[in-house]
Every structure is written in structure tokens, then in C-alpha cells.
């Protein structure tokens, strides 16, 4: 028996008329009526799709997706199929209508929106189809960090330090090159007297390390690390090689960030369990000599979190400058914020230059989450991603939920949770003081990955993409209005030109951000299941 000719104009018109009625019912929240209308259409649109024709029931949104596909409304078909698979991860029609990469993307978004169980169900069903095994990475990741969360929630406070509250330093690192960089810069600068040693005498230090088993000895047996161990309790967790060695691909372009994010959240849970203030340490940073003790003082004064911003400098050039401040006998680098910034300004990273916003847009290797402006004294910046120097244990919730974003993305938005950020967070507006950090970047090799225009619209969109809960929106609006400034004194000639007004540009970015709020709220509700 011949079926409908989907290229026939009359057939297309009949399908389109019924689909329009279904969509009107959906928009009005009348899903039972929409489903009844879909039943009338199914014999037509499901023709020769055996598993659909034989199904006892077809989901409203997967059926609507199929109808849109028959009408060549492919983007709508994808959106409806995505909604169907979020409502029912076992919906085989929705799976059939979406490419494996699209289903992985939905699972990633569900994890970011803290719906882990739903993501698991989707990934398991995807695996059963035999189309891809990419979901195994995320399933193993979720299982591993669930185990580590349970371990963190059962920790008991160590007998270290004095009478104050301890400090937990989270360090996630693997690979010999990164470990060597950490041992050359991060840990030596944190061994300055005003950093880890000061924290050890005031309340104790816990160094919470996540690394690879293969790098364990290389890290722990190094003289610098052994010096750290004199001042800190060391907690080491091995991340499975199957996670660390997962190859980047179109579905999973950033497996290392997911591994780092999971570890950082475990450290946050451990800090809350141990009633310790929390510090995140990356790789390739140099911290000023009293970075931790100054941040700690703000925490002891009742601040919930201390934030600053990092200056980017070229790594090779800074190595020579640091020789003056490196103490070989004690394995530490002791440099105050003024000297640290002065040397970094001499060798400012060219990646930094790209973020100075101009009327003729440049491009950046990364999304423009921050923008910079030249000032008479040097430069200033506004950013959606504030760099936490230290977070009070009091600000960490007991029920912290993983979103598998790295800590700089929206961790502060999560723990502020819609409250008044101004009352909770101390912003270090001028790093010429006690709290400064320089991020070392390799020199440019000539190979360019610049893909992101540095414009007001792109900056606003980058901020909106950080929002995964509706309470995030007020936080990011507040964050971008904060101003960081650096006085370069006689080195202003090193600062790139920027021909746009700071005040007008910031206001334009804020207006563009606010204009995108409703679409962002719709996205959040889509993945959180809060839509009608």
C-alpha cells in the first residue's frame, strides 16, 4: 500500500495545518489536547517507520519533532526532539531524530544544569543504540566523582595548626609539563612566608591534590613538594587514566576541564566538611608574598569571599626576572605585589592585548568574558569571571551540587545563590597591595586559534552563557560592574591602545546582557524542566 507523498503540496499543507494546531495547544499549556491532535497525524507522519507505527504510545514532543522533520523544519524538529529526550531519556523516536553528537550535547547541558540522573539515563540509552560510546566518558566521570564526594563528606578534621580555621588548597594537576610548571612557580610562590607557612601557623593547611597515578612520584618526591609537606597535611586522589586520557573530539572538546571541575567540587565539599577556608590553585601562576595571609585577614573580618583578577605575562621572560626572588635554600619565591606587577607589565602576554576592546574589533583565542581599557595610569578591566583568592567555609553550602564547570566559571554564582554579592564578596580593585597573581602564558608560536571577536555583543553573550540558574543572572550583572585597575606608572607605553569609552562600553554590554536575559531564562528552564 502506498503511503503519503511528503513532497506533495497538499500533504505538506495538511500536516502544517495540524502541526500549527498542536503548537497552539502546547503554547497554551494544553498538552492533552495537543496529544489528541497528534494522534490524528501519526498515521501520516509515521508511515514506514516500523517502530513508531508499532508503538503503543508516541511522546508529544518527539511526535511533533517528527512532524516538523516531515515539513523540513529541521531546527524546530531538533528543538522538539531535545525537549522530548529531556522529558523521557528512553524516547527512542527522539533518539532517532537526533544525531549522537546532539544527544551528548544535551547530556552535557543537563549535567551543567545539575540534572545528573537524567543525563545518566540519556547516556545509557544512547550507548544501547550502539551509535557511539562517547557517553561512557561522562558515565565514568559521574560515577568516579560521586564516590569522591562521598569520601569528602566523611572526612574528619586533621590535627594540624593552631587555634584558627584551617585553609584547604585545591590543586588539580597531571602531566609532567604542568607538574614541572607548578613546581617552578605556583608552589614556590605559595611557600613565601606570608602564604602557606603563615596559614600553617594560624590554623593549619590541607593540600588537596588530584593527579594521575603516573605522576604521583614525580610530584610528591620533588624537593619543593616535600617542603610544602612540612607545612601541610597532604591528601592525594588519583583520577582514573581512562578519564585523563580521553581524546578530545567534536562531542567532547574539553575532557580535561570536566576532570578538573569534578575535582574542584570535591575539594569544596571537603573544605565545608572540615570547616576550612578554600583556595583554588591552578598551574603557571605566581602569587605575591602575602597573597594568602592578606586574603585570610579579610575572611577573618567576616568577608565571605575575596576576589581579584590575574595579569597575563609571558612565561619565558618572567623566568629570568624571578631569579632575583627565588631562594634555592628554602625552595620559595618571595616577591611583593608591586614588583610582581612591574615585571609582568614589562612582559605582558600578547594574549592579554587581544582583550583590549577597540572600535575595530580584534579576535581572541578565548570567548571575551572580560574586556580591558587603557587608562591614564595604566589599564582597567571588567569581567564576568572573578578570580576567587579565598572562600570562607561559611559561604560554602552543605548541599553543594556539582555542575562540572571549572571554578572560575560560575562557582561563585552558585554559592552566592541570589543573595547580595556586594555584602558577601570583597573585590581587590587594585592589586598593588598585598593580593596579586600573575598568570604565565607561553609565548605566541605563530599558530593562531583566534576565533572570538572582542565586541560588546560577544562579551555580553559570553556572560549570558555562564548562567545555568536564574539566580546567576543578578550575580553576573553585579560581577561585570566591578572594576579592576592597574597603575603601570612609567610603563604605560606597554599598554595597548583602546579607543572606546569605558563607561559607555560597560553600559552597552550591560544593556546587551539584559536584552538577552529572557532567552537565557528560557534556556535555563528548558534544561531544568521548569518550562510549561
CA 323, 324, 326, 328 dihedral sign is positive
DSSP letter string, 92-112:
HHHHHHS-HHHHHHHHHHHHH
The 10s digit of each residue's pLDDT in 47-80 is 888 888 888 889 999 999 999 999 999 999 999 9
Instruction: Categorize the per-residue pLDDT at 339 as very low, low, confident or very high, splitting at 50, 70 and 90.
Output: confident
- Three-class DSSP category at 387: strand
pLDDT digits (tens, 9 = 90+) for 192-232: 999 999 999 989 999 999 999 999 999 999 999 999 999 99
> Minimum mean pLDDT among 5-19, 141-155, 179-193: which range?
5-19
With cell 570562607, the residue in question is 392
Q: What pairing do the DSSP bridges indicate for beta strands 425-427 and 305-308?
A: parallel
In-domain check, residue 441:
no
Neighbours of 135 (CB within 10 A): 25
Which residues are within 8 A (CB) of 328 and not within 5 positions of it... i.e. 6 or more apart?
A: none
Say if 368 falls within a structural domain: no
**Which residues sit opposite 371 in a β-bridge?**
382
DSSP codes joined into one string, 25-70? HHHTT-HHHHHHHHHHHHHHHTTT-HHHHT-S---HHHHHHHHHHH
Distance CA 517, CA 390 (A): 30
d(CA 185, CA 422): 32
Q: How many domains does the chain have?
A: 1
H-assigned helices in 445-516: 456-465, 472-481, 502-515
Average pLDDT over the chain, rounded to an integer: 90
Q: What's the distance, CA 359 to chain centroid?
A: 29
H or E element at residue 353: helix 350-353
What does each C-alpha distance from 377 to 429, 491, 495 come to in angstroms?
14, 9, 10
- pLDDT at residue number 1: 41
Q: Are 366 and 462 in contact (CB under 8 A)?
A: no
Answer yes or no: is 33 within a domain.
yes
Residue 83 maps to a domain: yes
For 486, the enclosing helix (H) or strand (E) is strand 484-487
Task: Determine, yes or no, domain membership for 88.
Answer: yes
pTM for the model: 0.92
Q: What is the pLDDT of residue 430?
A: 82
> Could you tell me what percent of the chain has a pLDDT over 90?
70
Report if residue 528 sits inside a domain. Answer: no
Range of the domain at 122: 9-133
Residues 338, 340, 345, 347: what is their CA dihedral angle, to the nearest 10 degrees? Answer: 160
Residue 2 in this model has a pLDDT that exceeds 70: no
pLDDT band per the 50, 70, 90 thresholds, residue 158: low
Most confidently modeled range among 306-320, 350-364, 395-409: 395-409
pLDDT at 491: 65
Phi, psi of 452 (to 5 degrees): -110, 115
Cell of 464: 549570558
What are the pLDDT digits (tens) for 271-329?
999 999 999 998 999 999 999 999 999 999 999 999 998 888 888 777 776 766 776 67
Q: How far apart are the two ends of the chain, measured CA to CA in Å? A: 40
Residue 433 lies in a domain: no
Asked whether residue 123 is assigned to any structural domain, the reply reads yes
**132-146, 161-175, 339-353, 458-472 — which is least confidently predicted?**
339-353
pLDDT of residue 19: 95
Whole-number pLDDT of residue 254: 94
Amino acid at each position: 500500500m502506498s503511503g503519503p507523498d511528503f513532497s506533495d503540496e497538499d500533504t505538506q499543507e495538511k500536516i502544517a495545518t495540524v502541526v500549527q494546531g498542536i503548537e497552539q495547544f502546547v503554547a497554551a499549556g494544553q498538552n492533552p489536547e495537543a496529544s489528541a491532535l497528534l494522534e490524528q497525524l501519526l498515521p501520516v507522519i509515521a508511515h514506514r517507520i516500523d517502530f513508531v507505527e508499532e508503538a503503543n504510545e508516541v511522546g508529544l514532543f518527539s511526535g511533533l519533532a517528527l512532524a516538523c522533520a516531515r515539513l523540513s523544519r529541521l531546527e524546530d524538529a531538533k528543538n522538539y526532539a531535545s525537549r522530548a529526550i529531556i522529558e523521557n531519556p528512553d524516547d527512542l523516536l527522539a533518539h532517532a531524530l537526533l544525531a549522537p553528537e546532539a544527544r551528548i550535547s544535551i547530556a552535557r547541558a543537563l549535567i551543567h544544569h545539575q540534572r545528573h540522573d537524567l543525563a545518566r539515563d540519556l547516556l545509557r540509552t544512547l550507548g544501547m543504540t550502539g551509535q557511539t560510546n562517547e557517553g561512557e566518558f561522562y558515565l565514568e566521570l559521574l560515577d568516579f566523582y560521586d564516590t569522591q564526594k562521598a569520601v569528602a563528606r566523611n572526612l574528619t578534621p586533621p590535627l594540624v595548626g593552631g587555634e584558627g580555621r584551617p585553609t584547604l588548597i585545591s590543586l588539580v594537576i597531571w602531566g609532567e609539563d604542568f607538574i614541572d610548571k607548578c613546581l617552578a612557580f605556583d608552589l614556590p610562590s605559595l611557600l613565601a612566608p606570608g602564604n602557606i607557612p603563615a596559614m600553617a601557623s594560624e590554623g593549619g593547611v590541607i593540600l588537596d591534590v588530584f593527579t594521575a597515578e603516573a605522576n604521583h612520584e614525580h610530584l610528591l618526591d620533588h624537593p619543593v613538594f616535600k617542603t610544602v609537606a612540612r607545612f601541610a597535611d597532604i591528601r592525594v586522589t588519583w583520577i582514573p587514566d581512562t578519564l585523563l586520557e580521553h581524546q578530545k573530539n567534536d562531542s567532547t572538546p574539553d575532557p580535561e576541564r570536566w576532570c578538573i571541575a569534578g575535582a574542584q567540587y570535591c575539594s569544596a565539599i571537603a573544605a565545608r566538611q572540615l570547616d576550612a577556608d578554600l583556595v583554588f590553585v591552578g598551574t603557571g601562576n605566581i602569587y605575591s608574598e602575602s597573597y594568602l595571609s592578606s586574603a585570610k585577614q579579610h575572611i577573618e573580618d567576616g568577608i565571605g569571599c575575596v576576589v581579584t583578577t590575574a595579569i597575563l605575562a609571558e612565561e619565558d621572560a618572567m623566568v629570568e626576572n624571578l631569579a632575583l626572588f627565588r631562594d634555592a635554600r628554602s625552595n620559595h619565591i618571595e616577591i611583593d605585589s608591586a614588583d610582581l606587577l612591574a615585571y609582568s607589565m614589562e612582559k605582558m602576554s600578547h594574549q592579554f592585548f587581544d582583550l583590549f576592546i577597540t572600535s575595530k574589533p580584534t579576535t581572541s583565542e578565548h570567548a571575551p568574558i572580560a574586556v580591558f581599557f587603557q587608562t591614564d595610569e595604566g589599564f582597567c578591566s571588567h569581567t564576568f569571571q572573578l578570580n576567587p583568592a579565598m572562600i570562607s567555609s561559611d559561604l560554602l553550602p552543605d548541599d553543594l551540587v556539582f555542575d562540572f564547570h571549572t571554578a572560575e566559571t560560575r562557582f561563585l554564582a552558585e554559592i552566592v545563590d541570589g543573595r547580595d554579592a556586594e555584602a558577601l564578596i570583597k573585590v581587590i580593585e587594585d592589586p598593588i597591595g598585598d593580593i596579586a597573581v600573575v598568570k604565565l602564558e607561553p609565548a605566541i608560536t605563530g599558530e593562531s586559534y583566534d576565533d572570538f571577536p572582542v565586541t560588546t555583543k560577544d562579551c555580553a553573550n559570553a556572560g549570558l552563557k555562564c548562567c545555568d540558574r536564574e539566580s546567576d543572572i543578578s550575580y553576573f550583572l553585579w560581577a561585570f560592574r566591578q572594576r579592576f585597575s592597574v597603575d603601570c606608572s612609567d610603563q604605560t607605553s606597554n599598554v595597548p591602545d583602546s579607543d572606546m569609552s569605558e563607561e559607555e562600553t560597560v553600559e552597552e554590554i550591560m544593556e546587551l546582557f539584559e536584552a538577552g536575559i529572557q532567552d537565557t531564562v528560557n534556556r535555563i528552564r528548558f534544561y531544568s524542566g521548569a518550562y510549561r
